[in-house]
Amino acid sequence: MTGEIDLAAGLEALLAKAGGALHDVVAEEIFPISQDRCPKESGELAATGRVSDPQPDGTVILSYGNQGDKTGIYAIVQEMDVNLSHPNGGQARYVDSSVMEAAGTLAERVAARMK
Q: What would the pLDDT profile of 59-113 be if each residue is shown by its tens digit? A: 999 999 999 899 999 999 999 999 999 999 999 999 999 999 999 999 999 999 9
pLDDT at 1 over 70: no
pLDDT confidence tier of residue 10, bands split at 50, 70 and 90: confident
Strands (E), 32-101: 50-51, 62-63
pLDDT at 7: 83
CA–CA gap between residue 107 and residue 13 (Å, rounded): 18
Task: Say how many residues make up the chain.
Answer: 115
Alpha carbon 53 to its chain centroid, in Å, reads: 10
Model pTM above 0.75 = yes
pLDDT tens, residue by residue, 20-44: 999 999 999 999 999 999 999 899 9
